[in-house]
Amino acid sequence: MIKHLRIDNRLIHGQVAVTWMNSIGADKIIVCNDKVSMDPIQKMALPMAARGNTVYVLSIADTIKYAQEHPDETMFIICKFPSDALAVMESGLEIAEINVGNAAPIAGTQYVMVTKSIAVTKEDAEVYRKIAEMRGGVLTSRLTTQNETENFLNLLNKSGL
């Protein structure tokens, strides 16, 4: 079961490895992104950043396959981009919770800072809205477990996206 899916282009960092894993109570972290899954340096470094947690760095297709083949495991999936998360959702997998965590600006894109830590392009906003639509019109954002949960669609609207 996918207990939590987080969209965070920083992927694994101390906050994720300790605070979020303790809060979620998942068995493992799956980093889900096609490009990252083909990068041998990231495949080596990301598990080291997870401070002893089990980590798999998988493509979108392999993440979906793994989740389908291991329904009894509790998974924390971290998607680098909203498009990665949408692809996982479109597979029909059950996801208990989805959270937009962080999206650093990407050079060369036309982005709007929706929060101090989330940059969104018009294309990203469309994907986030599709995700929300698949979740009954709800998509939340929470940077850390100590932060208040925010309605991400409201943040997009306030930013003109």
For 42-72, write each residue's pLDDT tens digit.
999 999 988 888 999 999 999 999 999 999 9
Q: Model confidence over 127-136: pLDDT tens digits? A: 999 999 999 9
Pairing type for strands 111-115 and 118-121 reads: antiparallel
Please report the pLDDT score of residue 132 as a whole number. Answer: 97
For the annotated catalytic residues, the residue numbers are 13
How far is residue 132's CA from residue 13's CA, in Å, rounded to a whole number?
Answer: 26
Going by the DSSP 8-state scheme, the letter that residue 39 receives in this structure is -
Q: Which residues of the chain have pLDDT under 50?
A: none
Q: What is the pLDDT of residue 51?
A: 81
Q: State the pLDDT at residue 151.
A: 97
Counting Cβ atoms within 10 Å, is residue 103 exposed (0-12), middle (13-18) or buried (19+)?
A: buried
How far apart are alpha carbons 149 and 20 in whole angstroms?
A: 14
User: 130-134: which pairs have CB atoms within 8 A and are 24 or more residues apart?
Assistant: 130/86, 131/82, 131/85, 131/86, 131/89, 131/98, 134/86, 134/89, 134/90
Domains of the chain: 2-158 (3.40.35.10)
* The pLDDT value given to residue 17: 76
C-alpha dihedral (19, 21, 25, 28), degrees to nearest 10: -170
Nearest to 33 by CA among 88, 92, 95, 96: 88
Residue 72 has a pLDDT of 95
pLDDT at 160: 95
pLDDT of residue 98: 97
The model's pTM is: 0.95
CA of residue 54 relative to chain centroid, distance:
17
How many other C-beta atoms lie within 10 A of the C-beta of residue 92? 8
